[in-house]
Amino acid sequence: MTTRNSAMVARAELYCPQVDGLAARPVSAEHVSSFIVHVPRSNARQRQALITFAVEERIAAPLQSVQIIQGPLADASPGDHLAFVLSNDVMTQVTQEDAPHLPEYLLIPRPPSDNGPAWAVWKEGNRAVVRCSDGTGFAANVNMLPLLWQRAGRPSLRALGEPLGADLPAENLSATPPPPDPIDVAFSFAQPRKAAARGLAAWKWAAVAVGAALALHMTIAALNLRALSQIAETERRAAELAISDILPGMTLTREVGPVLARLTPAQVVATESSFLPLLSDVSRVLTDAPVGFRRMAWGASENTLVVLMQSPGLDDLQGIEQTLEASGFAVRSGAATAGDGGAEVEMRIARGDGG
């Protein structure tokens, strides 16, 4: 599990803060995947759930078999986060030891990205550890490094360990490799887990995680190019079917906007102009509310968001309804129910002006 790179071990002893007299131990990059994910604005208790579901579609493993932990990312753009993914087995080994642990590529400073993407490479023998300018990192066999470099678009290179060879034009900093970022070397896998243990009971916020995940998936689906193409194809087929009696055999081109506007103007407006803004505004109003979305539906003809909400108590649900109405929304609530797991009610939320 710990790295075979002796230079990384030495840098951990030199730069990382000790815990109870124990030096930090770098975890091999082969055991820790890293991703940059962008999630909507959220409070602290929702962010972990958003990051988890953003990473889910990018890993070839079930969520229950891995741990997803937010890492340090200095000078990040708003909404950008660094996520580490490691197996449950590796995390178990980490937590059973008293020494702090961190991914070995955090011991390499991020190369500047003023002129585009860049890699800082620490080569030792036939293995290279790479730190990318976006904050992610990986390890690779040196024989594969030229191919990976070309497929990555030939980012600029900095050699911090052994020279990289003639095939990889790099700025050689081997004589005086720069120190790592203090924010990076202060990270330990155990710290996020301890912080989570000091939070509120998990059952209180399970509904919040589910609701945040639903909102994230809807947003991603709406912005994803492939999903938009599928929506456009569905609308084209619906339009052809609608006009088949009037213009039999007619095949629509991609420019179907004018035809759809005449045939189904309400659906087009609701799908592409009303749903996402309404969802975004509702989510922003409820950012700090103790609420989860168990089920969500969309009434296109009425421009209405139908949400089954869950909260710890009936008073919280009443407060949420009042908050929405005070923010200019028209809210119709069904009969609320309460039990040991909390309270829930179905709300139909629309703009205050009805549209």
What pLDDT is stored for residue 198 in this prediction?
Answer: 41
pLDDT band at 288 (very low <50, low <70, confident <90, very high): confident
Rounded CA-CA distance 63/94 in Å is 19
pLDDT band at 299 (very low <50, low <70, confident <90, very high): confident
- Percent of the chain past pLDDT 70, that is, above it, reads 77
- Measuring CA to CA, how many Å separate 85 from each of 8, 136, 172? 20, 11, 31
How much is the average pLDDT of 160-187? 94
> Which structure tokens are listed for 47?
């962010």
pLDDT, tens digit (0-9, with 9 covering 90-100), for 191-223:
654 444 443 334 344 445 556 655 555 556 555
CATH 2.40.128 fits 6-197, yes or no: no
pLDDT band at 267 (very low <50, low <70, confident <90, very high): very low
Secondary structure (H, E, C), 157-193? EEECCCCCCCCCCEEECCCCCCCCCHHHHCCCCHHHH
Where, residue-wise, is CATH 3.30.420 in the chain? Answer: 6-197
**CA neighbor of 124 nearest in space, from 9, 244, 291, 278:** 9
DSSP letter at 251?
-
pLDDT, tens digit (0-9, with 9 covering 90-100), for 57-85:
888 888 899 999 999 999 888 889 999 99
Angle at 280 between CA 234 and CA 59, to 5 degrees: 70
- Measuring CA to CA, how many Å separate 306 from each of 30, 282, 300, 333? 45, 12, 11, 10
Domain 202-226+265-351, CATH: 3.30.1360.100
- Measuring CA to CA, how many Å separate 147 from each of 140, 141, 154, 167? 11, 11, 10, 10
What pLDDT is stored for residue 268 in this prediction?
Answer: 38
What pLDDT is stored for residue 188 in this prediction?
Answer: 94
How much is the average pLDDT of 240-259? 60
Residue type, 68: I
Min mean pLDDT across 228-242, 282-296, 313-327 is at: 228-242
Where, residue-wise, is CATH 3.30.1360.100 in the chain? Answer: 202-226+265-351
pLDDT of 164 strictly over 50: yes
Does residue 336 contact residue 345 with C-beta atoms inside 8 Å? yes
Does residue 15 contact residue 179 with C-beta atoms inside 8 Å? yes
Does residue 164 contact residue 170 with C-beta atoms inside 8 Å? yes
pLDDT of 302 strictly over 90: no
pLDDT band at 287 (very low <50, low <70, confident <90, very high): confident
126 burial (CB, 10 Å; 0-12 / 13-18 / 19+) is: exposed
How much is the average pLDDT of 106-111? 96
What pLDDT is stored for residue 312 in this prediction?
Answer: 85
Query: pTM to 2 decimals?
Result: 0.56
pLDDT of 108 strictly over 90: yes
